[in-house]
Amino acid sequence: MSQKPEDLFKNVISHSKEYGFIFPSSEIYDGLSAVYDYGQLGAELKKNIRDYWWKSMVQLHENIVGIDASIFMHPTTWKASGHVDAFNDPLIDNKDSKKRYRADVLIEEHVSKIEDKINKEVEKAAKRFENFDAVMFRRTNARVKEYDEKIQSITTRFKKALNDNNLEEIKQIIVDLEIVCPISGSRNWTDVRQFNLMFSTSMGSVSEEANTIYLRPETAQGIFVNYLNVQKTGRMKIPFGIAQTGKAFRNEIVARQFIFRMREFEQMEMQFFVKPGTEMEWYEYWKKARLNWHLSLGLGKEKYRFHDHLKLAHYANAACDIEHDFPFGFKELEGIHSRTDFDLKQHETFSGKKLQYFDPELNQNYVPYVVETSVGLDRLFLSILSSSLKEEQLEGGDTRTLLSLPPALAPYKAAIFPLVKKDGLPEFAERIMTTLKFDHQMAYDEKDTVGKRYRRQDAIGTPFCITVDHQSLEDQTVTVRNRDTMVQERLPVDALANFLNERVSLKSLLLTL
């Protein structure tokens, strides 16, 4: 149990690989940076987590409905959301100070320094002459004119380079202007690189004028553009929510830490539309509700904490993260943001369509405010996996590898073993399997000693092992062994269905909310 965090993280990664939870993407070709595939057990666990979230959001709330929007969206969507402008920066690094700068900012700062010089000239002249005409001075003074021309030529050149997307030219401008790094004072620059967080591809035939299409960097916009469709056709009354799960893509500069930050990842989001002025109440409501949801997984209260954002994004008037204690420290798991009416208003402006709600109580129209809950499915997966993986010391000096997953989320809900591979025990076991497999994902194993089989199921988190022995043939009972306590009890075969339903069904977990 007392493993070093680095070791635990290493174990999580190799355990994931060894048992088929997570593989590096296209591994036979050396993998692809920060892209991972879910294996046979990982896919089950991930699906169960997603189902639990979906049911707790959509099925348990009459005023929340789910949609499934496309990954491709109209390019204007990303202009309206601010993603195009916010993430199209040419960046350059100084090799000596290791600091990264926006190339356009460096050039603009250089230009403003020249402007300062002009202003100084003007100030100096103003002191010297009476009846000073600043406009005339600017137009006629040789030194000022020289500065002005310099600014003109720089900005013309810079604008052209930006328009042509000519990164080499931008670097050349920085070199020509002899711009130095404010920290190291050196001119030892890397090449200029364009970092656009959004992946792009083209839509339409190649020969024609193809449109640049972005892979969505967040799923939220799919909800906002469908706000009116859902509200009208679903006859939704404020407050109401729209939920969605799906893939999003970000071309991260640095993507690290296994599946914590991937370039392709899955979000589970719910946008809750409320009356303006009530958003803070709902913000607090969802903070509590979402933390409660995480606590229901039983990984431990001490594993979670809130982190309030001091610096708010351009669209938010309140924001916080639910952080989880990962093997590499507390990191963001879920974000809860009060997004105001920013998104819907932006889409109104860019689309020219009204995205409003007629409130019958107030007898007036308004753009609803939005409270968002947004959790990373892959991060949730990692939080559950890493918190569940344990090396347990047993009496007698033995150790066992235990994956104490929340039972309702485990890939296999129960495993069935014939104690021996003869005397009709396998046939008996398979009959039980057949009756239970319609309700639960079941495993079957008849290889090796039964103790070994228990350990194998412990390592993949199967909550219960059902063993058929010779007594089973006589009185139709089996033993059921608990993963966490290793305690066995004998149950009639007929009681198994209820036994499992009460302990491993999603319903059993939903009831704890």
> Which residues, including other chains, have CB under 8 Å from residue 493's CB and lie 6 or more apart?
432, 472, 476, 477, 478
If one asks whether residue 491 binds RNA (CB under 7 A), the answer comes out as no
* Residue 235 sits in the site that holds RNA (CB under 7 A): no
Min dist CB 60 to RNA, Å, is 29
Contact at 8 Å (CB) between 305 and 390?
no
Query: What is the widest separation between alpha-carbon atoms in the chain?
Result: 118
Asked, as a colleague might, if the bond just before 5 is cis with ω within 30 of 0, I would say no
- Joined tokens for residue 473: 């043939």
Exactly one of 46, 110, 171, 250 binds RNA (CB under 7 A); that residue is 250
Residues within window 264-323 making contact with RNA, judged by CB under 7 A: 313-315
The answer to whether 268 and 97 are in contact (CB under 8 A) is no
Least separation in angstroms between CB 480 and RNA: 9
Q: Compare residues 87 and 444 and give the one whose CB is closer to RNA.
A: 87
How many C-beta neighbours within 10 Å does residue 294 have?
Answer: 20
Residue among 127, 128, 235, 447 that touches RNA (CB under 7 A): 447
Instruction: Check residue 433 for interaction with RNA (CB under 7 A).
Output: no
**Residue of the chain from 136, 206, 254, 362 that contacts RNA (CB under 7 A):** 254
Helix (H), strand (E) at residue 36: strand 36-38
Q: What are phi and psi of 367, to 5 degrees?
A: -85, 120
Q: Is 487 in the site for RNA (CB under 7 A)?
A: yes
Site string for RNA, 409-428 (x = CB under 7 A): ----------xxx-------
Radius of gyration of the CA atoms of the chain, in A: 30
Long-range contacts of 148-154 (CB under 8 A, 24+ apart): 148/118, 150/114, 151/111, 151/114, 151/115, 154/107, 154/110, 154/111
Placement of tokens 């972005």 in the chain? 214
Q: Are 41 and 411 in contact (CB under 8 A)?
A: yes
Near RNA by CB under 7 A: residue from 3, 47, 74, 93: 93
Alpha helices in 177-303 (DSSP H): 220-224, 227-233, 279-295
Using a 10 angstrom Cβ sphere, with 0-12 exposed, 13-18 middle and 19 or more buried, the burial of residue 298 is middle
In the bound state with RNA, the residue whose beta carbon lies nearer, of 360 and 397, is 397
Q: Are 234 and 65 in contact (CB under 8 A)?
A: yes
When binding is defined by CB under 7 A, the residue of 228, 486, 506, 510 that contacts RNA is 486
Q: Give the binding-site size for RNA (rule: CB under 7 A).
A: 65
Q: Binding residue for RNA (CB under 7 A) from 112, 156, 190, 435?
A: 190
**Cα–Cα distance for residue pair 408/127, rounded to 1 Å:** 81
Q: How far is the CB of 252 from RNA (least distance, A)?
A: 6
**Binding flags for RNA, 323-342, as an x/- string (CB under 7 A):** -----x--------------
CB of 201 to RNA, least distance (A): 18
**Among 253, 473, 495, 513, which residue interacts with RNA (rule: CB under 7 A)?**
253
- Interface mask toward RNA for 62-91; x: CB under 7 A: -------------------xxx--xx----
Residue closer to RNA, measured from CB, 253 or 513: 253
Strand partners, 393: 399
In whole angstroms, the minimum distance from the beta carbon of 432 to RNA comes to 13
C-alpha angle 510/511/513, rounded to 5°?
A: 70
End-to-end CA distance of the chain: 29
Q: Which string of x and - marks every residue 137-176 that binds RNA (by CB under 7 A)?
A: ----------------------------------------
Q: Between residues 6 and 308, which has the closer beta carbon with respect to RNA?
A: 6
CA 388, CA 160: separation in Å to the nearest integer? 56
If one asks whether residue 22 binds RNA (CB under 7 A), the answer comes out as no
Which positions touch RNA (CB under 7 A)?
6, 9-10, 13-14, 17-18, 24, 30-35, 81-83, 86-87, 93, 95, 98-100, 190, 197, 217-218, 250, 252-254, 256-258, 261, 313-315, 328, 394, 398-400, 419-421, 447-452, 454-456, 467-469, 478-479, 481, 486-488
